[in-house]
Amino acid sequence: MKIAELKERLQKATLEEFIQIKQELASDTRKGVHMLFRQTERRFALEEQQRIDFKERLAFEDEYRQQGYVRIAGVDEVGRGPLAGPVVAAAVILPDGFYHPGLTDSKQMSKVQRQAALKHLQEVAEIAIGIIEPAEIDEINIYQASKRAMQDAVHQLQPDALLVDAMTLDDDTPQLSLIKGDARSVSIAAASVVAKETRDAMMEQYAIEYPGYGFETHAGYGTPIHLQALDTLGVTPIHRKTFRPVKERL
């Protein structure tokens, strides 16, 4: 078998197929063959570690299921810190058997990884989004706005149990608040991806409506470029006027 042919077979092989191929070529002394075997073994080891990690991050969901809960929603929000734009929350109910290796805290994922995860979630999961605009953030404060966005998302799904990232909601639904929950729970990680990609898309649209601020790159956070734009272009309707760097420029 040619090296190129073997490489193609191994890239598509399951673990069982790999074992069979390795047995078939046990007497092959070519260095290229053994290098491909080592590469494939590392791939399977990585995939197994990903499965173990994923299962560990389903522990809170599994515990709820053992108590009889079925519709378990992960809840997270993004956008507390920016000077402009909304705070966006998402609630996500994953189907039984869901698996997406690499799904974790959205801040630890690349744009490409988040978009792939979002596409998968949109295909198989129940998703709801809550959005609180800047004017309401200024009225009730960012903490209350974050909570309200989360509760709005939850109410759309009507789950029977909640896993919430670092927040306790004013809701009678059984809930567990987890510090750094987006790294500890797959359901919360799913919500963090949905919320971030939703908000990023909104800020990209705002970048078209309000050119010169760089919303498409910093998503409203107080970067030097953003602060300079505030000084030269002024405050827009989507800025949070109670946030100090904005308030100082009114």
* Burial of 208: CB neighbours in 10 Å, binned 0-12, 13-18, 19+: exposed
Identify the pLDDT of residue 29: 86
What mean pLDDT is reported for the chain?
Answer: 95
Q: In this predicted model, what pLDDT tens digit does every residue of 155-195 receive, in sequence order?
A: 999 999 999 999 999 999 999 999 999 999 999 999 999 99
Identify the pLDDT of residue 7: 83
58-61 contact pairs (CB < 8 A, 24+): 58/185, 58/186, 60/163, 60/176, 60/178, 60/184, 60/185, 60/187, 61/94, 61/163, 61/185, 61/186, 61/187
Low-confidence ranges of the chain (pLDDT < 50): none
Identify the pLDDT of residue 184: 97
59-197 maps to CATH 3.30.920.30 = no
How far apart CA 104 and CA 181 sit, in angstroms, is 10
* Burial of 239: CB neighbours in 10 Å, binned 0-12, 13-18, 19+: buried
Identify the pLDDT of residue 214: 98
How far apart CA 180 and CA 142 sit, in angstroms, is 19
Identify the pLDDT of residue 175: 98
Q: Are 26 and 2 contacting, i.e. CB atoms less than 8 angstroms apart?
A: no
Identify the pLDDT of residue 22: 80
Identify the pLDDT of residue 64: 98
What are the domain boundaries of the chain?
3-56, 59-197
Identify the pLDDT of residue 28: 84
Identify the pLDDT of residue 135: 98
Identify the pLDDT of residue 43: 86
pTM for the model: 0.89
Identify the pLDDT of residue 1: 78
Identify the pLDDT of residue 169: 97
Identify the pLDDT of residue 24: 84
Phi, psi of 127 (to 5 degrees): -130, 140
